[in-house]
């Protein structure tokens, strides 16, 4: 599913389009669902000269010419989904997510191509944008013992996520940030005390002042 700016940035070749989103949009086998509200918002943006696409007619002609595109309607089933979606402030963003949820309720599989912070933080849908296709979360913790070439299962992380950063300080491992369900980044910081032989204690520490993900590792 393609949101407003992902669609505009793709058509105008804008560098702000995320790497993974760009790859999905360029894939000839992709099925591109465009919510009607995203199409309407894009027309408004073009009409007001906020993009390099010359005219609304040019934009719609490009969309219509792509056989992969299917415009999803804005109907009562979508509206009903938006009414309790307090995680997302803007109604048009709610309608994009609600459209994805309706398709999922009907048995479809949907990833949303979006950079929108509110949608990402809601955790309601899977996101494709930059570097990570944020669908596979993990909480498992295992420690390797090089002397015996074995791994031992330890206490799982309280926060399942992908794209986290890690750091080792004084024999303790810190799991920092990352992306949770739907691609929403988290400010969680968890400390692992590796000094115990039979188990690893896990403590939640103070949260980061900002959320982040995919920063890297440090020892």
Q: Which residue has the tokens 């940035």?
A: 9
Q: Which of 54-63, 86-95, 130-139, 188-197 has the lowest mean pLDDT?
A: 130-139
CA–CA distance, 21 with 8 (Å, rounded to integer):
12
pLDDT tens across 142-197, in order? Answer: 776 667 766 677 788 888 877 677 788 887 888 888 776 655 677 888 888 766 54
Residues 199 and 118 in one domain: no
Question: Helices marked H in the chain — which ranges?
Answer: 4-12, 19-26, 36-47, 56-65, 76-82, 91-105, 117-122
End-to-end CA gap in the chain: 39
Q: Are residues 204 and 184 in the same domain?
A: yes
35 phi and psi angles, rounded to 5 deg: -60, 145
Q: Which of 93, 114, 132 is the last residue of a domain?
A: 132
Q: Is residue 191 within 8 Å of 176, Cβ to Cβ?
A: no
Q: How many CB atoms lie within 10 A of CB 205?
A: 12
Q: For residues 93 and 116, is the Cβ–Cβ distance under 8 A?
A: yes
8 Å CB contact between 161 and 208: no
Q: Any bridge partners for residue 204, and if so which?
A: 190
Domain count of the fold of the chain = 2
> Do 77 and 33 fall into the same domain?
yes
Segment 33-74, tens digit of pLDDT: 999 999 999 999 999 999 999 999 999 999 999 999 999 999
Whole-number pLDDT of residue 179:
72
Burial 88-97 (b: 16+ CB within 10 A, else e): beeebbbbbb
CB atoms within 10 A of CB 28: 6
Distance between CA 61 and CA 72 in Å, rounded?
17
119 and 47, same structural domain? yes
Which of these three, 132, 166, 189, is where a domain ends? Answer: 132
Q: Which domain holds residue 205?
A: 141-218
Maximum C-alpha span of the chain: 68
Global pTM? 0.62
Q: Report d(CA 37, CA 119) in Å as an integer.
A: 15
Q: Are residues 70 and 12 in the same domain?
A: yes
Q: What is the pLDDT of residue 135?
A: 47
Same-domain status, 14 and 111: yes
How crowded is the C-beta side of 182, counted as CA atoms within 13 Å? Answer: 16
């Amino acid at each position: 599913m393609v949101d407003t700016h992902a669609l505009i940035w793709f058509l105008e070749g804008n560098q702000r389009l995320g790497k993974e989103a760009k790859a999905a949009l360029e894939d000839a086998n992709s099925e591109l669902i465009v919510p009607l509200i995203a199409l309407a918002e894009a027309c408004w943006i073009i009409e007001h000269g906020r993009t390099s696409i010359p005219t609304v007619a040019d934009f719609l002609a490009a969309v219509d010419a792509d056989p992969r595109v299917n415009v999803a309607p804005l109907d009562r089933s979508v509206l009903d989904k938006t009414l309790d979606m307090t995680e997302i402030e803007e109604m048009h963003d709610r309608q994009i997510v609600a459209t994805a949820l309706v398709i999922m309720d009907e048995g479809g599989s949907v990833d949303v191509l979006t950079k929108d912070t509110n949608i990402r933080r809601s955790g309601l849908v899977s996101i494709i944008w930059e570097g990570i296709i944020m669908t596979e979360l993990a909480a498992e913790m295992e420690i390797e013992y090089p002397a015996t070439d074995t791994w031992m299962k330890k206490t799982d992380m309280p926060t399942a996520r992908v794209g986290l950063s890690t750091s080792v300080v004084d024999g303790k491992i810190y799991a920092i940030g990352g992306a949770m369900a739907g691609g929403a980044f988290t400010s969680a910081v968890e400390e692992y005390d590796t000094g115990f032989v039979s188990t690893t204690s896990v403590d939640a520490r103070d949260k980061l002042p900002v959320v982040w993900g995919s920063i890297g590792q440090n020892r």
